[in-house]
Amino acid sequence: MSITQEGNLLSFPINIAKTIKHLRKDMVDDWFYDTVGYEDLLSNPSSLFKILQKNLETNHGLYQSGSKTIYDVPKNPLGLRYTLEIDFYDRFIYQAICTFLVPFFDPLLSPSVLSHRYDKHGDKGLLFRNPIDMWDTFQNISHSAIVDGQCLLITDLLNYFEHISIASVENAFIGMMSKIEASGGEKNTIRSAITTLKALLEKWCFNEHHGLPQNRDASSFIANVVLDSVDKRMKAAGYDYWRYVDDIRITCANDAEAKRALNAWLFRVLCG
């Protein structure tokens, strides 16, 4: 088996070629850009595999991650947000877990979520659908509400990634296991990937047991899974509800209905 295609590093399969391609895409808008774009590592999958393999051998089969570094980066208007920076190898493993889990879990997510959706039939080998197209769809939904003379509720989640607990990540993934289209053996492998993800996030989290790495495609996918129950309950309650990352839009008939929708959304978010 060629390690440029798939390597048996951890207890779940890692498609090295796909992970590298997805990682390249994710690195395009990094806040802290590497001078050579990590080409010395990305262009040599054989060396990458050997280094990760050595990590497992040295730590007796347990992947030993590095530590995170926390920085503040500017956020409009005149604010700051944190960023958790992890080393390249940890970031590769983080992306590899996401690349493996997305095809199983994305089909279960609400169609009202338009950010970081699996591009199952994409011809460019990218993991997610074109973000510009998805954002335009999100904006068009908002525009339609205004043109039709309806009331548009616009809100968002403050400190979106910071407040996601690692326990809620594990619970959300495990809670959806019964709905996944996979064999028993595949589900066992999926559970192993979730266990690895939980262990790594506990080491990388922002504050004790909360906080995902920001500006990462993997984190956005994980957040979609965590918020899935809220997304579905809002749709089940009859609301014309849409979400793009942490931006929420709900089309309502009038101001009174918008206030009720906001209260309903807040209740579902706070109650989990």
For residue 1, the model assigns a pLDDT of 26
Residue 203: predicted pLDDT: 92
Give the pLDDT of residue 197: 96
Q: What is the pLDDT of residue 272?
A: 61
Contact residues for 98 (Cβ-Cβ < 8 A; gap 6+): 22, 127, 217, 218, 221, 222
Rounded to whole angstroms, the Cα distance separating 57 from 52 reads: 9
> Which pLDDT score is estimated for 7?
55
Domain extents in the chain? 16-271
From residue 83, alpha-carbon distances to 25, 30, 39, 204, 206 in Å are 18, 10, 23, 11, 9
Q: Can you list the residues of the chain whose pLDDT is less than 70? A: 1-8, 272
Cα–Cα nearest to 102, from 129, 124, 73? 129
pLDDT tens figures, 91-138 = 999 999 999 999 999 999 999 999 999 998 877 889 999 999 999 999
